[in-house]
Amino acid sequence: MQIKFWGTRGSIPVPGKGTLNYGGNTSCVQVTLQSGRVIIFDAGSGIRELGNELLNSIEIKELCIFFSHTHWDHIQGLPFFAPLFNPDFSIKLLLSKKDDTKVSKIIEGQINSYFFPITYDILQADIEYKEINPLEAIHFEDALVTPIEIKHSKGTFGYKVIENDKTVIYMTDNEIDYEVKNDKVDYNSILEKNSDLIDFCRDADYLIHDSMYLYDDYKKGWGHSNHLSVAYFANAAGIKNLLLFHYDPDYNDAKVDNLTAETIKVLKNLNSTTKCIASREGMNINMANEPV
Ligand SMILES: [Zn+2]
Ligand SMILES: [Zn+2]
């Protein structure tokens, strides 16, 4: 299995000289299975460049895009995803069921004349929508993708991909819940309040997790996590590699460096075996090169 990051930013794209290292595009992660099949998580602005590369580089032209949810920063790149305009591709869009509307309406809504120069019927790929349920796994050859409801707007999903002996979790736009005691984050409250997600993530090789804020910048109730709670969560779940993700748009490269250093410091103080890496646009992780 391979992971490639095409967009690591939260909320809104932030191109410019301050974000050259970690990138300015919004959420998009490519996972390539051993069979060569490509699975995509979210269609933020990073998906545009991924689409251009996929046009000529892959043999299996069946793509699956799993959406964490439909906030703008997770769908805004889709109208610019070139395989949608190519009849050789079949593309499955998978997302949580909505109570009040068809999921296709939400996605198609941004490809109409109010927002875009062409209409949806011009797309040439074979497009299929699939409404998915928490904890109902989707099978691909030797791999399994399982969604779980996470703590953000209703119907936001994290995903676990298992292929042979490797596990990757994509969990962004998740607010790790905790209590503060004596002005400190209470570690035990993280275990108690997030036990379902900690169990879901247990012993994963890679956890890609929302790391929007440093602790001092944290906005409670906004649906995102801070570096302290993310480090505690990853340690509690026995994660091997924590990949920080979905950075605040106001964080330049120096601030993301700081976020990473502070997270590593917390893990070190816990004597944790979890390694912490800041994801950045263009980063490629190939698990075939790792020991089992
Ligand atoms: Zn987001
Ligand atoms: Zn969101």
| Ligand found nearest the CA of 70 | 2
| Ligand found nearest the CA of 211 | 1
| Ligand found nearest the CA of 12 | 1
Q: Which CATH number fits domain 2-287: 3.90.420.10, 3.40.190.10, 3.40.50.410, 3.60.15.10?
A: 3.60.15.10
Residue 21 CA, ligand 1 centroid: distance in Å:
20
DSSP string over 262-274 = HHHHHHHHTT---
Residue 292 CA, ligand 1 centroid: distance in Å:
33
Q: Residue 12: which of 267, 250, 272 has the closest Cα?
A: 250
Please indicate, yes or no, whether the overall pTM of this predicted structure exceeds 0.75: yes
| Ligand found nearest the CA of 44 | 1
Greatest distance between any 2 Cα atoms in the chain = 60
Residue 86 CA, ligand 1 centroid: distance in Å:
28
H or E stretch including 167?
A: strand 166-171
* Ordered strands of the 126-132 beta sheet: 126-132, 90-96, 62-66, 38-41, 28-32, 2-7, 284-286
Residue 246 CA, ligand 1 centroid: distance in Å:
7
pLDDT in tens, the chain (292 residues): 999 999 999 999 999 999 999 999 999 999 999 999 999 999 999 999 999 999 988 888 999 999 999 999 999 999 999 999 999 999 999 999 887 888 888 888 888 888 889 888 889 999 999 999 999 999 998 999 999 999 999 999 999 999 999 999 999 999 999 999 999 999 999 999 999 999 999 999 999 999 999 999 999 999 999 999 999 999 999 999 999 999 999 999 999 999 999 999 999 999 999 999 999 999 999 998 786 6
In the structure, ligand 1 is a single-atom ion and the residues with CB under 5 Å from it are 10, 73, 173
Residue 110 CA, ligand 1 centroid: distance in Å:
17
In whole angstroms, give the CA distance from residue 149 to residue 189.
Answer: 20
Q: What single DSSP character describes residue 260?
A: H
Residue 87 CA, ligand 1 centroid: distance in Å:
30
